[in-house]
Amino acid sequence: MNKKKPSTTTEPRKRGRRPVASVSAPQRRAFTAIRNHLAHRGFPPTVQELGELLGLGTSSAHELVNQLVRKGYLRRDAGKARSLEIARQLEPEVADLVPVPIVGVVAGGRPIYAVENFVGEMLVEARLVGAARCFALEVSGDSMVGAGIDSGDYVVVRQQQVAENGDIVVAVLGEDATVKRLYIADERIELRPENPRHHPIVVGPDDGLRIQGKVIGVRKLAEVRSRLRDGETTRGA
């Protein structure tokens, strides 16, 4: 009696869908709403309350919760109405970045944003820059420490020739550039520091004040992500 040999072939395993690790914008909004509710109220929202917070129907909110549970960001007890818990935090959302030129030392009265002054570039959030023409400038000195601008920081500057009272600006007097707060009252114009150890600069009609731009952001040295070419990247404040 011949024994039937077992088959050496195996059926291919059926591949299921790979779990999706990324979080969509609606899921992120739902997670943030739940986290904020926990932080401010001390307990999680019900699914119905979550839908009201998001402007969604209960079924849509329920599906978002299910998705976040499957991805491991939330835990819940199916038998309780307020059982949602944070299982793990969302990864930080990566911002779109755009390059902004870094300006070096300005010499001979050339505009601060002249091509020959560029020494490299740094990456800045696109939402900060928008469609404006911007540049970055390294600050040297402690005249603006009260505004959170320390020596060695980089200021992100929106290029413009006019500014309003109270704006922090990059201004040029003669051949010297400076970062100060603009003060305008009647016919008096001052460039004011944010450090009591420094005195305001009173601007006269013959001083040739030129506004080169408005400071719209500050980046600490440790935060700067840039590729620098050889060259000096400092500028006095």
Task: Let me know if residue 13 belongs to a domain.
Answer: no
Q: Quick one: which of 120, 111, 156 has its CA closest to 232?
A: 120
Instruction: Give residue-wise pLDDT tens across range 115-151.
Output: 567 788 888 888 888 888 999 988 888 888 888 888 8
Q: How far apart are CA 206 and CA 174, in angstroms?
A: 10
State which residues form the domain around 164: 97-228
pTM over 0.75? The answer is no
Q: SS3 letters for the chain? A: CCCCCCCCCCCCCCCCCCCCCCCCHHHHHHHHHHHHHHHHHCCCCCHHHHHHHHCCCHHHHHHHHHHHHHCCCEECCCCCCCCCEECCCCCCCCCCEEEEEEECCCCCCCCCCCHHHEEEEEEEEHHHHCCCCEEEEECECCCCHHHCCCCCCEEEEEECCCCCCCCEEEEEECCEEEEEEEEEECCEEEEECCCCCCCCEEECCCCCCEEEEEEEEEECHHHCCEEECCCCCCCEC
Q: How far apart are CA 173 and CA 112, in angstroms?
A: 12
- The verdict on 126 and 200 lying in the same domain is yes
* End-of-domain residue from the set 86, 107, 135: 86
Among 92-106, 180-194, 204-218, the minimum mean pLDDT is found in 92-106
- The verdict on 38 and 71 lying in the same domain is yes
Task: Let me know if residue 40 belongs to a domain.
Answer: yes
- The verdict on 211 and 139 lying in the same domain is yes
Q: How many domains does the chain have?
A: 2
pLDDT of residue 23: 85
**For the stretch 168-194, what's the b/e string if a residue is b when 16 or more beta carbons lie within 10 angstroms of its beta carbon?**
bbbbbeeeebbbbbbbeeeeebbbbbb
pLDDT of residue 196: 92
* End-of-domain residue from the set 62, 86, 110: 86
- The verdict on 73 and 188 lying in the same domain is no
- The verdict on 106 and 46 lying in the same domain is no
Where is pLDDT greater, at 223 or 227? 223
Q: Which residues are catalytic?
A: 143, 180
- The verdict on 151 and 58 lying in the same domain is no
Instruction: Give residue-wise pLDDT tens across range 190-219.
Output: 999 999 999 999 998 888 899 999 999 998
